A and B are shown apart, each in its own frame.
Chain A
Amino acid sequence: MPKSLFVDPVELRQPGEITFAPIPVNQYNKSIKEELAEKNFSNEDLKRIYRDMFIIREFETMLNLVKTTGGYNGVEYNNPGPAHLSMGQEAAAVGMAYMLDTDDFIFGSHRSHGEILAKGLRSIEILPEEELQRVMEEFWGGATLEVAKKGFKGGSTKDLGVCFLLYGAMAEIFARITGFNKGLGGSMHTFFTPFGIYPNNAIVGGSGSIAVGAALYKKVNRKKGIVVANLGDGALGRGPVMEGMTFASMDQFTRLWEGDMKGGLPVLFSIMDNQYAMGGQTRGETEGYNFAARIAAGFNVDAMHAERVDGYNPLAVIDGFRRKKALLEEKKGPALLDIVTYRYSGHSPSDASTYRTPEEVKAWEDIDCIKCFGERLIEAGVATQQELDAIVAEMKSVIFEMYKLAIDEQLSPRMDLTKNTEQLGEMMFSNGSVDSMSDATPDVNHPMEENPRVKQLATKERFAFDKDGKPFSKMKTFGLRDGLFEAIIDRFYKDASLVAYGEENRDWGGAFAVYRGLTEALPYHRLFNSPISEAAIIGTAIGYAMCGGRVIPEIMYCDFLGCCGDEVFNQLPKWQAMSGNILKMPVVVRVSVGSKYGAQHSQDWTSLCTHIPGLKVVFPVTPYDAKGLMNAALQGTDPVIFFESQRIYDIGEQFHEGGVPKEYYEIPIGEPDVKREGSDVTILTIGATLYRALKAADIFKEKYGISAEVIDARSLVPFNYEKVLASVKKTGKIIIAGDATARGSFLNDLAANITTMAFDYLDAAPVVLGSRNWITPCHELEEAFFPQPQWFVDAYHEKIAPIAGYVPVCNMTDAEMVRRAKEGI
């Protein structure tokens, strides 16, 4: 809510009407001769367009035959993986790629073989030969090129490049280690960044926000090029796509961002409008837009410069891209193209196309984009039938050669996970340690020491207690939020690529004042408010990191994680391994766990994140740990879900001797910390439950003479069990507690593993103390819901070692556990 924007009641209450900019539909009508006269193309260019379209058609035909007949040209192969094919969409793909440089990035969908090949072929065409040679030789140390060469019948470097592209893509689709992503991406995730081909996405619309993040990266880091998000028309039903478009259309880019940062994002939403979403027909059945391009009208006053173009004429598509790219380069983005096209194949080879008539398919085949384009070339005298036939014959032969290589078990082996059992495991995290993802000088508004918050923190007490053990006042104490701030501002001054955004990040200093002071320190483009679009907040962060930046997206309440479920669970954790470790993902997602705000604002969802392989999960609850772990998270190259508790943003450091150091330090992610030593029972906590566990430890000691050892997990993934096992071997007893609702929580995972590894040392099964399996009630009723200090004593008495004369406050008997489970509560 910047003060510079006046919310004027007079203006807002004026009568009037909204008019929409007209959205052109299929306005292109140039003949080939006209294009040649305007010197937009040479004869060779046009023939190459024909060639590229044919390569895609034959590539997809090959995959279709493998899927449906178990072979191609009589050479048998079984490909059990997916094949979402795009026969019929070749002109759209080749037209899309034609105007793009290697600096221009494309993102795709589950049906993107055509787009990948088109962009790859275009990059091969425009890259200088020596550069192309270098790219091929350096990729996987030349392993992919070596195999492709075996089927290369001679010719130029560019001809070899075509072999390389076709082989790399096929090997990837067939899950071979020589594939573009070591076979870990597969059909729906094949990509090749040196050619500007960024990930496609098996989740419909997945690229709708990720591509926007890539554009944000280009803009903030002053990188050349535009970003194209290739989405199907079906993706327009997806919330994250709407959110991505909202994010891309934010007014602040043109109204609030300053200097060279002023202006729209260089992103082009390219709708591959093939009329079908699975078996659902978008136009007339599952959508109401009539024209896909219409949706653009809702996003900004320019209607994203939207246009519908004829995707069955490659030159119409090229014309559209030429004009939209120019707009983006003038910082007038975002833009949207609705490319009318049609797929002959079903959703997948198992789709019997029961939802359409053979007549409909035939009508499109009659105007087939390749056939008609060939006829027009002959008609315009650009090529003869013999020339076109020669192109077809040559490309068929190249594809067949590459096919034979890609299915060869010796030349193109799969990752051997029987022999190298941990090979994939080692790819889940990059575990990098990088000060800065950028060589640039960070854009800041003043030297750090002049920052008002930095100056204020210098006067604060960095340990919670004075030398007599008396606590300092909250106002004087350096709190957890201050620890986070110090780590984050430090990184903003070290790493020019670092940006942070979320729902209210700038003017308030974040909803919980962690960022107070950053507003003064940073220009808009490094710290800004996002729309209330969690999917876009995380999705754009993923795109931003994929391209090489570091980013801190914020999810204001843990409860909102569901709004970005796909981004947090499917995208963020997967891309490092799915890319064959080509991509890094330095994204630190700050997630605040609420309190006092009831059922939809007070939930601890750490367990949901620990369940997903590929995410690091931390939950520090002291200022020392918060600063050290934030430093470690920001120094790393992996996605970290960084949980914070709203109960304790102001808490002082009570454990680390000497208080929170002023200097930079890191706490390794994965190491639990013994907060209080003891000998009779171990208490392991996640999150702010630590402080209630310490109160319980006091009760144990004072009332029952039981000495409790209290360990703070600090990190959940990774997690080093050694300290916990040593403690359990000593005490023989453990209570594992956290604020997550108990059923299915990570607490149970810890308990199961501790049971397995310390079984012979246990005097009782580990006791899990989570929240009740209810909605979180209002603050006044919270004590019945979250684990309380007395619950620990109850658990000890009921499940570990009965205490004489003790009367428990909760019913923790086995019978009650059975009853609750029966009831599902």
Chain B
Amino acid sequence: MAEVVIMPKQGQSVESCILTEFKKRKGDKVAVGDVLFAYETDKASFEEESKAEGVVLEVFFNEGDEIPCLTNVMVIGAEGENAEEFRPGGSAPVATAVETKAEELTTDAVAKEETTLIVAPNAVATPGCGVSPRARRLAEKEAVNLAGVAGSGPNGRIIERDVKAAIEESAKMTPLAKAVARQTGAIAPERGTGLAGTAKGADMAMLKSVVGASDSEIKPISNMRKIIAKAMHASLQNSAQLTHHLSADARRIMELRKRVKKAVESGELATNITLNDLVCFAVIKALKQFPNVNAHFLGDSVRLFKKVHLGLAVDTERGLMVPAVRNADELSIVELASRLKEVATACKKGSIDPDLLSSEAASFTVSNLGNYGVEIFTPVINLPQSAILGVNTIVPRPKDIGGGVYAFVPHIGLSLTYDHRALDGGEATRFLKQIAIEIENLEIEF
């Protein structure tokens, strides 16, 4: 009995996913638990594991295709079983993404004969004869070079069905290859270097040298990169951001950190508590005192949160991710530390719940670059949140320690970017100062 593998729905708001890589291909043997393919939403990447054992009978999409959630992606079953019945309902965009296989071509041809619609195309398109606007539009979208297309319309005009036929017959191209073809007029090789002979961007460059083609490469950006680009650009375009910098005496938290280390080493404490966890703990305490900061600015209204949902900027291979720890103000320092670790790891593995990545999921965000030695920076707000705290590295600063004696005291830098539409400088400064006070006087129990 053939098993269908569908594109899972990852989170409420996700409507489609991009299939990034096939781990199993048509004909491959598959065991339960084998990774079949990797895919990503606009926020995270995932891997789909097989729940069935058998052979991959059919794969309906190509890598890079955007696939609506719950659509059939592949079929696993016993060798020789028919998988055709599971093919997603032949709508045009899906159809163009279907892999080209000899048998399919034959079935297609039969279907066409039945409709009697296709007239044998004129052997060669007459130069100068027309192209319908609709056909031209489709050709442009699919980067079909019309020079080789024979028209079957009145007087040899190239009409939509001719372009569709050309797409069927020609080499598959990746979106990048299409972009290159559109820009440069390059023609795809009969067989590209990509999957199933798909022409890739690089294949196009080989055929037609463009300026800089030898020492540069046009590379499509990931879906997530696009999302980050859009969100960050929108944030700076649509709000009034500015950053205040201030530093806190770090001696207290450094001492706490020492105690933690000792406790961990001695086995008293199971969970490591990092400096960042301590700073976050202090931030949560400060946020409880500044409800206007723990808020979303919505243009003509603000959403004030009763709880603190703390967003944490996490650097991953795929790019920046900001998972939220919900109800962080209810957590003890140990619980907070383990939750923060949990979400960061999930992000890095790509298994994070996408709903937690929504900028609406957090009420405030902390971005810590201290590890990297950054001394000062201006983080970008994750709209609609009202502010974001950047945490910097610890540096020794001269400080009057009493009696006119100056000593170098470690200070941790704090950079608060806030949306001036939501907050004024006074309140923002008071809040930032409060974080420093909390850091300097932090009490924890473990």
Contacts and interface: CB of A to CB of B under 8 A. Distances in A.
Contact of B160 (A706, A759, A763, A804): A763
A805 B157 CA distance: 18
Interface in A689-718: 704-706
B153 A803 contact: no
A251 B120 CA distance: 74
A800 B153 contact: yes
A800 B114 CA distance: 20
Nearest to B118: A804
B103 to A, nearest CB: 23
Interface string A653-690: 00000000000000000000000000000000000000
Secondary structure type dominating chain A contacts: loop
Interface string A616-656: 00000000000000000000000000000000000000000
B119 to A, nearest CB: 4
A497 B224 CA distance: 71
A489 B419 CA distance: 68
Contact of A800 (B116, B119, B154): B154
B135 interface: yes
Contacts of A760: 133-134, 136-137
B145 interface: no
Nearest to A798: B154
A801 interface: yes
Contacts of A799: 154
A298 interface: no
Given A760-B133, A763-B134, A801 B153 contact: yes
Interface in B117-152: 117-120, 132-137, 152
Contacts of A805: 116
Contacts, number: 59
A649 to B, nearest CB: 39
A367 B233 CA distance: 91
Contacts of B117: 704-706, 801, 803-804
B132 A804 contact: no
Given A801-B161, A804-B120, A705 B154 contact: no
Contacts of B120: 804
B217 to A, nearest CB: 33
A732 interface: yes
Contact of A764 (B115, B119, B136, B159): B159
B159 A801 contact: yes
Contacts of B114: 705
A802 B161 CA distance: 11
B99 to A, nearest CB: 26
A99 interface: no
Interface in A757-790: 759-764
A814 B152 CA distance: 17
A805 B115 CA distance: 12
A802 B134 contact: no
A705 B115 CA distance: 6
Interface string B28-57: 000000000000000000000000000000
Interface residues of A, number: 19
A732 B159 CA distance: 10
B135 A803 contact: no
A303 B423 CA distance: 93
B157 A764 contact: yes
A823 to B, nearest CB: 23
Contacts of B132: 732, 762-764
Given A764-B154, A800-B154, A801-B161, A759 B133 contact: yes
Interface in A89-112: none
A802 B133 contact: no
Given A732-B160, A763-B159, A801 B152 contact: yes
A763 B135 contact: yes
Nearest to B137: A760
A799 B159 CA distance: 11
Contact of B153 (A761, A802, A814): A802
Contact of B116 (A761, A762, A764, A803): A803
Nearest to B132: A763
A763 B162 CA distance: 11
A817 B152 CA distance: 21
A784 B379 CA distance: 78
A802 B116 contact: no
A227 B119 CA distance: 72
Contact of A761 (B115, B134, B155, B159): B134
Nearest to B113: A804
Interface string A727-749: 00000100000000000000000
B156 to A, nearest CB: 10
Contacts of B116: 704-705, 803-805
B119 A804 contact: yes
Contacts of B154: 764, 798-802
Interface in A332-390: none
A759 B131 CA distance: 12
Interface in B91-119: 114-119
A586 to B, nearest CB: 44
A575 B116 CA distance: 57
B146 to A, nearest CB: 14
A764 B152 CA distance: 12
A757 to B, nearest CB: 12
A818 B118 CA distance: 28
B406 to A, nearest CB: 74
Contacts of A800: 153-154, 159
Interface string A794-825: 00001111111100000000100000000000
Residue of A705, A762, A814 with highest tally of chain B CB at under 10 A: A762
Given A732-B160, A764-B157, A802 B152 contact: yes
A693 B442 CA distance: 83
A805 B118 CA distance: 10
Residue of A761, A763, A803, A805 with highest tally of chain B CB at under 10 A: A763
B161 A762 contact: no
A728 to B, nearest CB: 10
A470 B284 CA distance: 75
A413 B256 CA distance: 84
Nearest to B135: A763
B161 A761 contact: no
Contacts of B160: 732, 763
A706 B161 CA distance: 13
A504 B108 CA distance: 64
A684 B133 CA distance: 20
A801 B161 CA distance: 9
Contact of B134 (A705, A732, A804, A814): A732
Contacts of A801: 117, 152-154, 159, 161
Contacts of A759: 133
A502 B157 CA distance: 53
B108 to A, nearest CB: 15
Interface string A203-245: 0000000000000000000000000000000000000000000
A811 B367 CA distance: 75
Contacts of B133: 759-763
B413 to A, nearest CB: 56
Nearest to A764: B132
Contacts of B119: 802-804
Residue of B120, B132, B159 with highest tally of chain A CB at under 10 A: B132
Interface string B150-174: 0011110101110000000000000
Given A798-B154, A801-B159, A762 B115 contact: no
28 contacts: A705-B115, A705-B117, A732-B160, A760-B134, A760-B137, A761-B133, A761-B134, A762-B132, A762-B133, A762-B134, A763-B153, A763-B159, A763-B160, A764-B132, A764-B153, A764-B154, A800-B153, A800-B159, A801-B117, A801-B153, A801-B154, A801-B159, A801-B161, A802-B153, A803-B116, A804-B117, A804-B119, A805-B116
6 closest cross-chain pairs (CB), A and B: A763-B134, A705-B115, A804-B119, A763-B132, A732-B134, A763-B160
Given A704-B116, A762-B133, A801-B154, 5 more contacts: A760-B136, A763-B159, A763-B160, A800-B154, A802-B152
